[in-house]
Amino acid sequence: MPPLATPADDLALLSRAAREAGDIARRFWRQEPRAWDKDGGAGPVTEADLAVNIHLQQMLGAARPSYGWLSEETPDEPARLDAARTFVVDPIDGTRAFIDGQEGFSHALAVVEGDQVIAGVVYLPIPDLMYAARAGGPATLNGAVIAPSAATAPDGASVLTGKASFAPVHWRGGLPPEMRRMFRPSIAWRMCLVAEGQFDAVMALRASWEWDIAAGSLIAERAGCVVSDRRGRALRFNQPQPLADGLLLAPPALHAALLARLVPNAGED
């Protein structure tokens, strides 16, 4: 078997693939693409999601035939668990925003080796924003190195999360004073916005799919954030059940402070 590609080579491949995905998505955006609800309350999907997924699977599979494949829009195959590396892909993260004609959807692509992400990109094709990182390298936005905010305390912090996360039941001593809740439609983009310091933290108290968070987790980590599940445990990817127990992402001191204030078993957002 030939040697595996370097993380830098995988990152370059993901970047090309994400831009090609963006070309496909733009052809459907604001053109009233066909959309329907997936079974089991799994949310909406459009013909654009599927077109992007097919292209990515063909392109990436041809470039790296030995890699496994895990995507929101492809039936899961257990063979990925035996692969040395696996692509973890969300063809369109923020499908509801895409359907509504908003700009805040993204393509989230990652390569996982073992249980860790070694290359990841999150690309927003309409504003042309490419977030990227590889193992051992910096996190970048359109080639420029990014870093998180200097926030250290929950009081006054801006947190990207759902409404239910701010219920007092989730917080020891009640909701931190003046902590501000914000929202963006793509969770992968939310993670990158914290990585570049536009907001202070991302929080999800419900289970999070790997394809939503794999790429963003590496970008945030390489920017200087701490990324964990809702209970502070390290994230592991390419798992048999590809779900994390929520998400908490913030600069180190703020991450520790938020974790100390959160009630670990108070329900989900």
Confirm or deny that 93 is annotated as ligand binding: yes
Looking at the DSSP assignment, which residues form a beta bridge with residue 250? 226
- Tell me how far apart the alpha carbons of residues 1 and 217 are, in angstroms, rounded to a whole number: 30
To the nearest 10°, report the CA torsion of 223, 225, 228, 229.
Answer: -100
- Tell me how far apart the alpha carbons of residues 212 and 234 are, in angstroms, rounded to a whole number: 16
Confirm or deny that 212 is annotated as ligand binding: yes
- Tell me how far apart the alpha carbons of residues 202 and 187 are, in angstroms, rounded to a whole number: 9
Residue 226, H or E segment? strand 226-228
Tokens of 88: 């973890």
Confirm or deny that 72 is annotated as ligand binding: yes
SS3 call for 106: strand
- Tell me how far apart the alpha carbons of residues 128 and 122 are, in angstroms, rounded to a whole number: 11
Confirm or deny that 90 is annotated as ligand binding: yes
- Tell me how far apart the alpha carbons of residues 120 and 80 are, in angstroms, rounded to a whole number: 18
- Tell me how far apart the alpha carbons of residues 38 and 44 are, in angstroms, rounded to a whole number: 6
Beta sheet of 144-145, edge-to-edge order: 68-71, 85-93, 106-113, 116-124, 129-134, 140-141, 144-145
Residues annotated as binding site for Mg(2+)? 72, 90, 92-93, 212
Residues annotated as binding site? 72, 90, 92-93, 212
